[in-house]
Amino acid sequence: MFFKGTKILASAMILFLLFPVFACGEKTGKDGGDNIENAKTANDGVLPEEKSEELQSPIPGDANFNGEEMRILNCAYYEEDSRDVYVESEIGEIVNDSIYRRNLKTQNDLNVRFTFIDRALTGGYNFNQAIKNSVKAGSDDYDILIDAQYDCVQLATENVYANLADFPYVDLAQPWWPGEYIREMTIGKDRIYFLSGDISLTFVRQMSCVYFNKQLYENNFGDPDAMYKMVLEGKWTLDKLSDIAKGMYKDLNGNGEYDDDDQYACGLLAANLTDHFMFDAGIRITARDGNDLPYFVMNNEKTASFTEKLYQLFYVNEGSRIFPPTNDSNNITIPQKFMRDELLFDFGWFYVSELLRNMQTDYGIIPFPKYDESQASYLSLAHDIVPVYSIPITCEKTEAAGAVLESMAFESYKSVLPAYFEVALKLKYTRDATDDAFLIIDMIHDNCTTDFAYIYTFALNSIGHLMREIMGAKTADFASRYEKIESKAQTNLEKLIDAYINN
């Protein structure tokens, strides 16, 4: 598992959180000047202050950075994702307010001031160009950088990032840092340029999961809790999904044609969802040698078999409907069809639960299916737009920057993640209160995965998105598609390794 020891809160805490405390909050500006004592509790639940009495800050109590200003370039993929880093004030919503309190506490504990510079890639901001220009000019413009994973890693060999392997205060042995995930973002054992994990709520919100409509399941198969049991018994596989999907099609509009208005088991698109089907089924593109250097392992019978299974689900199974490869399909068309009880499954991410708040029918959350029952565990790919933290090589406040990263990650682990999972997700956004349902949500979180070639796909001839290309072409021919890109991908991998270790 990539997350260590992250069972978030005990059942007693869950019950305690059900009782609201009403209060209004103080407003803070972007320099974060308010004192933590001014922070109030949310009015739809009490913010969890501690996971346990034993959990203490890893930063020495005498750490004091004398009011140093910490300039944080907060560049999210979507503008709304920037709010998992900075919010202006408490608004009586438990997740928002836990982020607000985390920032205030970090500033007060370390005696620093935060200045957030908010940008968004979808708003046209060019993070890479801005950082290269800043470093090339020798400008000390930023102390901490945050950008989408797929974007910022492109500068890994450009000598713009500080090496965090032995950075002051940063302790990657702590459970708030997913060590194996961070390892996939690097080459060798001596350089670490990027951090992510519980420090970022969007990291969790972008983990893959599947929503199932409990009423549709009951209408067609019986007790919907059987879906949970199937998962916990390790029997939720691609073949099982295909079997379930076959019997779900109904011509709802009676026109005798398969169209968007009919009932299906699966609403799919041959784009980013294919990443999650593939990696969650345990398909690997790379492995590591004895020197911790990546090499390709994708070209094998298992990958070819998976490709055939996915093709059958997408294009042969009458219980599947393919929608255009757009954000609207993921965030509007498919969730709304699911809410109208016209889809049994909505394949997506934890954040989709936020789009289903007004759904009348009960739903459950389960992982993406395994390749087969022999797969050791269910997996959950963190999508390639997750926020990644780094420090520019021009930063002159390295001690303060390291302390801020460690403190923010610790406070997120202690309070922001519990608020999201135990209150926002488990109690507010889902309709279940069963132990099985809660256990599965924890299991998805604890089995986060990724692959070096997925993270660095744009430097590797887009090999990390190969399954997107194959499904988009409506073919199951993995072998010839892989052969077309293998040579260039291998050459690029060798160049990337050389540039990384000799930079």
Position 55 scores a pLDDT of: 77
Distances in Å between the Cα of 449 and the Cα atoms of 53, 180, 316, 423 are: 30, 8, 29, 24
**How do residues 41-93 score in pLDDT, each as one tens digit?**
333 444 444 444 567 889 999 999 999 999 999 999 988 888 899 999 999 99
The rounded radius of gyration (Å) of the Cα atoms in the chain is: 23
Share of residues in the chain with pLDDT > 70 (%): 89
Distances in Å between the Cα of 225 and the Cα atoms of 125, 155, 215, 421, 491 are: 46, 47, 11, 21, 49
Which CATH number is 11-205+385-429 given? 3.40.190.10
What are the structure tokens assigned to 23, written together? 């209060």
In which band, very low, low, confident or very high, does the pLDDT at 128 lie, cut at 50, 70 and 90? Answer: very high
Position 54 scores a pLDDT of: 64
In the three-class reduction of DSSP (H, G, I as helix; E, B as strand; rest coil), residue 410 is classed as helix
Position 501 scores a pLDDT of: 87
Q: What is the mean pLDDT of the segment spanning 263-289?
A: 97
Q: Tell me the pLDDT of the chain averaged across its residues.
A: 88
Position 159 scores a pLDDT of: 94
Position 215 scores a pLDDT of: 96
**How do residues 324-381 score in pLDDT, each as one tens digit?**
999 999 999 999 999 999 999 999 999 999 999 899 999 999 999 999 999 999 999 9
Query: Which residues on neighbouring strands pair with residue 145, listed in sequence order?
Result: 73, 390
**How do residues 183-239 score in pLDDT, each as one tens digit?**
999 998 889 999 999 999 999 999 999 999 999 999 999 999 999 999 999 999 999
**How do residues 476-502 score in pLDDT, each as one tens digit?**
999 999 999 999 999 999 999 999 988
Q: Which segments of 185-261 does DSSP mark as H helices, in order?
A: 201-205, 214-221, 225-232, 238-246
Domain 208-381+437-501 in CATH 3.40.50.10860: no
**d(C-alpha 210, C-alpha 366), whole Å:** 5
Position 276 scores a pLDDT of: 98
Share of residues in the chain with pLDDT > 90 (%): 81
CB 281 within 8 A of CB 371: yes
- Kindly report the pTM of this predicted structure: 0.88
CB 294 within 8 A of CB 287: yes
**d(C-alpha 234, C-alpha 321), whole Å:** 26
Give the DSSP H/E element, type plus range, for residue 365.
strand 363-366
**d(C-alpha 450, C-alpha 452), whole Å:** 7
Of the candidates 271, 261, 406, the one whose C-alpha atom is nearest the C-alpha of residue 336 is 261
CB 4 within 8 A of CB 174: no
Distances in Å between the Cα of 368 and the Cα atoms of 142, 208, 309 are: 39, 7, 14
Cβ burial, residue 185 (10 Å; 0-12/13-18/19+): buried
In the three-class reduction of DSSP (H, G, I as helix; E, B as strand; rest coil), residue 213 is classed as strand
**How do residues 392-435 score in pLDDT, each as one tens digit?**
999 999 999 999 999 999 999 999 999 998 888 887 777 776 78
- CATH 3.40.190.10 residue ranges of the chain are 11-205+385-429, 208-381+437-501
